[in-house]
A and B are shown apart, each in its own frame.
Chain A
Amino acid sequence: MENLCIAMAKGRLAKEAVKLFRKADYSLPENMLKSRKLIFEIEEEKLEIILVKPADVPIYVEYGTADLGIVGKDTLLEENRDLYEVLDLGYGVCQFALAGLPDRHDTLLERKVATKYPDFTRRYFKSKGEPVEIIKLNGSIELAPLTGLADTILDIVETGRTLKENGLIVYENIRDLSARLVVNKVSMKTRQVEISKIIEALDSVVNGEESDA
């Protein structure tokens, strides 16, 4: 049978993921992320690792091109795909928050929210029953309130330093986020033994003895 394919979100999450696998005694080359390769065959572990953009991880896994994926909860919430989310990997911890200028006051018109996460934002304000205008941006979200494009941003906040340096404050913490291990729903059934092995191995590294109870 083909090697199990794991899609990892390029960047910091992938780096941490490689560390995690190495801690779980998987022989992944230490410097594998230094090259520009996007696909790695780890024959001795019967694994194939692909590096994709974070937002693409849930897509690769839902379509079954990848059997497993490692990706932030923020991306999962935005993409809202049909997957098994089996493990909280406990790193990449941050929060979804609403932020903006300190002296925001209600305007006559709907609140304008700039975000990289338009779908999550839409669902969030819908659940609160507040009508808003959503402006999808692709980066430097902090700029939106400073330039007057929007009065609020919905973004991930880790330490809050970027916000502070740009003179913004957090209005509201929406929820905690972290990296997750996701599994294709069919692969979980058709390749249960191999996948369970990986889940258990990572679980024992992340959660230690406690999880064996």
Chain B
Amino acid sequence: MNAFVEGVRDILPAELRKRKSIYEKIRNVFEKNAFREVITPTLESLELYAGIEGLVDKSEMFKVVDDRGQILVLRPDLTMPIARLAASRFQDSPRPLKFSYLSSAFQSKNSQSLSLKEKTQAGVELIGSGSLESDLEMLMLLIKTMQAVRVEEPLIDIGHADLINEIFADLHLNEKQKIELRKLLAAKNRVGVKNYLKKVDLSEDAEHVLLRLPVLFGDPKKVVSELEEMPLSKETIKVLKTLEELFNKLEVFGLLKYITFDPMLISRHGYYTGLIFKGYAKGYSNLLASGGRYDNLTEKFGVEEAAVGFALEIENLLDYLSKTENFTEDEKRRFLLSYNNKPDFMLIEELAEDLRNAGYTAETAAEVDQEYLDFQQIDYHVELFEDKLLLRQNTGAEAEIERKEKIALEYLIINKIEEWE
């Protein structure tokens, strides 16, 4: 039998330890900022996800048929279930709602570089508030969370879903031109834009704007001021003004240094309606987080309300942290206690329990070989003899302790290892 499934994996103790430490830090930041964690079901109805443009392609969802023939999916994302929750169970609750989550999402084909079918996401959703302040709150929370897990230089790239549409409206493009140009602009393919402009008849102003857009991104204030110089409509300027206000507020908090602005930032998720942002780390070429405003998403459930949120890609984050070796773990020291005389097992078990109570990890064994000690990454091996106790550190250091009553032994062991460390 080959019980191996491609695209999913076992998480082994060494990795899980690192994960737990990250999870704890992320949960801590979320909770402190009043986002309470929820767990939604792994199975959702297909209808929940059907018809949401750009979220997940139907063919990329894992489908399950239940005993009544209803088609279910393994949740491909975590925002929809929370939107469902807000529109149903919490329909009459006071706004804003603040939820967080840390769960897996499933996709049969994953366009992100790490080709995992099950990936872990940690995120927050702020539902029922459409203010600029809540956009700001999200961006600040993302920066704080990234810093909490020791992303040294977080970088948040900001865009706005309306911007490209408003600019296109200004330029009087038809639908076919819009689709073609959107693709070229999203790929920052300036030459493609240039060649395309030769084929279509647009005003000089429009050509000037379209040729500039593929190379216009980066420093938020510079980009905004250049865009404002362009022949754009009032609506477009209005969008720019809100972004400018957002940048000014971020500057007040000293956070503008983490921000870049890309007017042509186009998200894969078609449901964003306003602010869009992506989180990166300097020197790491994969996406660490993404988020934005999705004011129309709850419309599906009959109630339209403002919402904004983001999700961190835990696997990418782990990959980044292991590359930069930026893990902080306060790992517990591991003890293994072994004995040579059968009647000693009682004393060994009691001694182990004392060490556990003192905050260490301890296990016992009648006899043990070096291979096992190495495999379990035991820091201290305590071996009990008739007349003495041998304490060995994995570095090779060794100490002999005279056999006394239990309390004295525990004291002597801890004393000794503190001396070593």
Contacts and interface: CB of A to CB of B under 8 A. Distances in A.
Contact of A64 (B260, B262, B285): B285
B254 interface: no
A207 B192 CA distance: 13
B176 to A, nearest CB: 15
Interface residues of B, number: 24
Contacts of B189: 84-86
Given A186-B280, A189-B217, A67 B190 contact: no
Contacts of A192: 217-218, 260
Nearest to A64: B285
Interface of B: 111, 113, 155, 157, 187-192, 214-215, 217-218, 260, 262, 280-287
A133 B192 CA distance: 32
Contacts of B262: 189
Given A85-B192, A86-B189, A86-B190, A190 B113 contact: no
A62 interface: yes
Interface of A: 1-2, 62-65, 67, 82-88, 183-184, 186-190, 192, 196, 199, 207
Contacts, number: 60
B177 to A, nearest CB: 19
A87 B190 contact: yes
B188 A188 contact: yes
A186 B262 CA distance: 12
Contact of A63 (B217, B282, B285): B285
A190 to B, nearest CB: 5
Contacts of A84: 187-189
B174 to A, nearest CB: 21
17 contacts: A1-B282, A1-B283, A63-B285, A64-B285, A67-B285, A83-B187, A85-B187, A85-B189, A86-B214, A183-B188, A186-B280, A186-B285, A189-B157, A190-B283, A190-B284, A192-B217, A192-B260
A184 B188 CA distance: 11
Nearest to B157: A189
Given A64-B285, A64-B286, A190 B188 contact: no
Contacts of A186: 280, 284-287
Contacts of A188: 188
B155 A62 contact: no
Contacts of A196: 215
A189 B280 contact: yes
Name which of B155, B188, B214, B285 has the most chain A CB atoms within 10 A of its CB.
B285
Contacts of B217: 189, 192
Contacts of A184: 285
Contacts of B260: 189, 192
B268 to A, nearest CB: 9
A31 to B, nearest CB: 30
A2 B143 CA distance: 24
A88 B189 CA distance: 9
Nearest to B188: A84
Given A86-B214, A186-B285, A190-B283, 16 more contacts: A62-B113, A64-B285, A83-B187, A84-B189, A85-B187, A86-B188, A184-B285, A186-B284, A186-B286, A189-B155, A189-B157, A189-B262, A190-B282, A192-B217, A192-B218, A192-B260
